Amino acid sequence: DAGITQSPRYKITETGRQVTLMCHQTWSHSYMFWYRQDLGHGLRLIYYSAAADITDKGEVPDGYVVSRSKTENFPLTLESATRSQTSVYFCASRRSTNEQFFGPGTRLTVL
């Protein structure tokens, strides 16, 4: 099915562990984005990518790493998870008409 998928949907981890959140889109959109959503803050941009092998920092990039070896995949890695990274993470891709399509989100809890 066409669309944007995220995995896992739920993840519980411990402080200091490495965690990778996966994002896959089937439209071949050039731009992809990672956001985190916390109460009272709306969505904040973590990293974005204009194309394969081109990534750049957003508003809150500290503690996160991204890669984009293929157009359709845009994984987000927390190198050493902290409690402050407990959040809901959304991946999105952008159509040429500037609409962003969001995945269903990954709810991450860091204990």
Partner 1 sequence: TQLLEQSPQFLSIQEGENLTVYCNSSSVFSSLQWYRQEPGEGPVLLVTVVTGGEVKKLKRLTFQFGDARKDSSLHITAAQPGDTGLYLCAGENDYKLSFGAGTTVTVRA
Q: Token pair of 81, please?
A: 């998870």
The verdict on 52 binding partner 1 (CB under 8 A) reads: no
The verdict on 43 binding partner 1 (CB under 8 A) reads: yes
End-to-end CA distance of the chain: 35
The verdict on 1 binding partner 1 (CB under 8 A) reads: no
Give, as ranges, the residues between 67 and 96 that touch partner 1 (CB under 8 A).
Answer: 90, 92, 94
Give the binding range for partner 1 (CB under 8 A) out of 19-27, 31-39, 62-70, 76-84: 31-39
DSSP state of 98: S
CB 105 within 8 Å of CB 88: yes
